[in-house]
Structure 1
């Protein structure tokens, strides 16, 4: 008993000693040198020296193993220009993996090397690690370079780290070389400012919980840097090909000294040569081009989250505290850069990190421009890194968590007994705490029970009943919805071939969109939420509640939904021709004629008009834009995406709400007052009308400042009588001048600053029909009739009652919650024109 009591007294001391030893082992050294492992020469028993690193043949390595179901291939030609590590490769015919023993927690760089040879060009495969799908349906045959490197930054715990190679179909997978080594301490911070698609800024935490894939690494103002002259064996490319207006920028003079590194910046963040060169404002040329900013445009993944690091080192100023300038991202976010608030001397490097949500344009613009209050009227930039942030996937193989273990290195025979205590206590603790390991999946198609859906951190789920074998769920997390629209998850799996990436047709804030075919042969679009999506349960509920009670030929129809487990899936009718914007610019789609554009705009206006007045209670869309107007196989327009919609009594003048929408389309009055009305949709639709006319985006930060915002620029041109100069050149010769005047008048009315001065959507639809008839019939009238008069005002109210009137139709619509409106409630132009002729006869 006394011995037992004595053990209890010494227990805190023992635990304290264990903790001290553990921390002393785990704390990283302040000095970092580039590690010598792991660098693997795949498919070989030969060690090769590359950039002062020894790439060990995978057949020789004792610390790296790989699945045995494989073969190696050697390039027998061994062309002299082919680097040695690309002359051999490891080939996998089935799911296989490389296994690395990780002895230190931290951030790691993982690089995969591929060589585009004829023998390997048929390979199609996935690569995954740590629960992240790193490469999907990857192939190298279309690479512009024979050598292709893919770099990732991952947080890896102590234990076994596996990289999986999974061939697709009857193909195979391969890899020529692999690098896995720890990055310097504090290489990537877990927190940064997040920039939304609308330019709003918030703090973002959790960067290190994502996998980062390097998309661009740019040495701004300098030459190409290869692994031979980079501290972490990276490649930096010159920036010239990314400049939007090359004349606005010039390379600064190369700094002759060594940069003054101050913590946390060192030569491993970026090599000297990045900070010793820069681009700066070419003031004379920028004034000639009427663009005082330098803008770089980078291709990025659409609607994805990206980690951005911008590097600065003031090698252009003649003295300290003489220079401030602005950094812009996507034209809707700006930040003043004052180097001396961060560093106290010239030629001292610093960097700023951002998390940026890209839009669906496929491009990200980064600009710098002068601050009018600065002594020096210039701006500079030294380097840019862009990495896609990848979320965890529930369809990739996962390493067995039970294989992970803590490693204790304790020297000294005196501590022998303590070692046993550590091992025994550690194993006991792990045994009690570890979770049941996830099974390794051999293919992307697993039994239904393997798919639990996406886990949403922003979603509070009620207690769910156990999923049955059919995959149904009796406890719906979405209350008061039309249960007749529920579709079992297994049906959606079958319709989309288990969400096959080949069937993915888009990606938005809510999640991925897939093309699918139901068992009855109906083609559908399936929108599935994903972790970290910008929209969640409220938008999901709103979309269902709105679309389940409306039907209109110009509104996208909801076929059904699924809310099993943690899934949030919406199933719509399939729109063959995609979005309106796909047919206007930055696309390979055929150019729309002016007649087609008028018909599309008219159809969308009718859909919005029904939404405002015909649907029960009245609905405000709140996110009208060209990507939310879809086209079917006959180019019939249908308004889509009702996740941000708000409803209310039709006589309610406004709804107080947090401002939501898309930058460039936002009603300025709504933005100022947060008072939402249907006229906010009218303003957004006015921006769409200008998009249709000019075939350019609502916001284009690469243009001169006065032209960046399409709504503002279009109204300036309209008032100056220069609107024809910004019309899409591909249709300019098609447009009847009277039709153009009427169309421009409609857009101008929609874009009035004061919401009270804007027309209703009924007026907009009427006037667009009128513009269409002016185009098709070329009715000869006095110029002032089509440019200053309101077409709908030309008819008195009693005359309108002789036809299917808007007011009479509204009354019928308000009594119906589900209605198939194929005739529309706005009188057709042919009817109106017949009455106009009668009036003229009078």
Structure 2
């Protein structure tokens, strides 16, 4: 519905009469006829009904209930399981339905319109299933839309995951929700909600805001699926489904506001006066419009101007429907308050309640289709205007929904197989086919037993063919009966192509050397630039790393992870082919004298990019991956200085939860997690520790280990934390950064590094937290760069630095019985192991 404007109305009495007439008519004709439906609310995998906050969830095994009779399952091997949780857990999350193959729920829809689809996931362990539900990896589809892809219900906060979607169902009839396991995994769901929403809840039109800030009109919103990402009660408390008109969750804004000290909570006890022409009780509940965040400034005109900003992690290069909610509970009177709303700081629009409503305390909202940029963060801000009689700005609520485009045909769901076909085949072919089948079966059983008898580990040693052999290592392993698992044959690159691309490994194209071998620059015949990592010919050293690299990189893709183009294992060669990274390693740009020095903003963006890559490894990939060798030489930069994590030869794959993996200590001196060294128990927090060392490298521009320095200064992590404790950290900051860093940005950056370097892994943040903190540090830096001369300027960053005192980390070295053996460090220098570590020997550090 278009907004009504009243620019020409100035008589308060006329405005009041007009409003009362309008309100009385529209209020009656609006959504008054809508009532919350009683279907479909499904308790999956159970015969018990559960009443949960205005909703009666019907057990999908309860055949006596009329609602359950109107849904059906399609697909094979459905399993209903029960948890071993205590009775204190919600009954809704004590059962689940598990799908071992493609399957679907089918609902009878008798009315077209907008529908809420909510899927509840809670990963519990069960005696009924051999694995924890947190290991499930699957997709969820509905007609024409892929709702979830590569979804896993792993959740560090022991609470359910609720995914909400809004879809338009235009043709009454059968509506299906498909669950599609990935690979050999499975799918599950604890509860499902499918119910009709008020017809005017979502507008089909909105202003389109591009990433560059330009605008146009956008239509067809209702033809897409909307995935709710954020629903924020700005300045107010959490709102649970029990207190929302449409059973929604609204969370406080405290985790998203950048400058909370500049904000002031506002609330009022009286209920808002809804006018359905602008917003109704179904747009947002009253409590959202009764609370707000307002600029906390003096009433004098001399007050400094500033913006209140909220930041949200969103999908990159995607479209989002953004709805901003307002209710003027801060103005002295109507038609006096005007302020700016900003999206990404590149688009702004004026919010004037008089453009929407004519009195105070009347809710209204505006909506935008926003193209997210490549940063992965969407910023929403409010700020004052000079032409307003009141220097104020406020915000009551905010919703961000990702717009899902159509995704083609839905997956095929396997139905019951036709047994009669098998009988006909057997009767026609007779005993001959049966004999052949039995013979093949015996052969396969015998072969499998033979394989198992010689397999003692995941990666068995492989004999190497002599130089000149055209056979591959994979071929040899196949001949011996044990094909390497997860080897993606589609990535194989002929040796002849690599020789052509590198001019027969011309030494003039040599760009680096690592633990695996030499790295060459090359160019394929299609002009694609590549980096070629070649092991020593004929050597079998490093083959486990070679296999691990292929196994890991062949199944993941991410903007901040170096992409594997292919591999070659012909003629005793082990060769990996990657995308070429124009700017080299992060280390080069921190220490090398022949490359430009990075600005502080560039360093922050690089750290954020690398952190996002590790975040994806830990939480976004199949089963979870621990990198195990995070360091500045394994963070590469492309031509635009976009950071990408590289070198996955030491990675460990598998489910990442609160458990650990016992393993031989591997990694690089100076970056090794002290807890990992002592216990040999690897967790994702070992990567967090190493990344904390990288953060210090970025700040101080010195290696993690520098044997040329004396005593306590050898180990960067120990030295920096000691300086921080003594208040002298400023002395070791990279001199080229002097005068560049905003004190608040620097303070947040140091706090983040310190948290990563905590001695015990349980005290360290997750990479999710690290990404958030670094993005906040970048926001503080950018805000400082935009600061006007009259605005506040903080004193020296270190003078005001007040960080919690952290433990000094013990030195970890090796005490040798004879002469101390030197260890070669990343920078080419040598250091005695006893100068660096003191508690145990590490066999595979590199």
TM-score when normalising by structure 1: 0.50
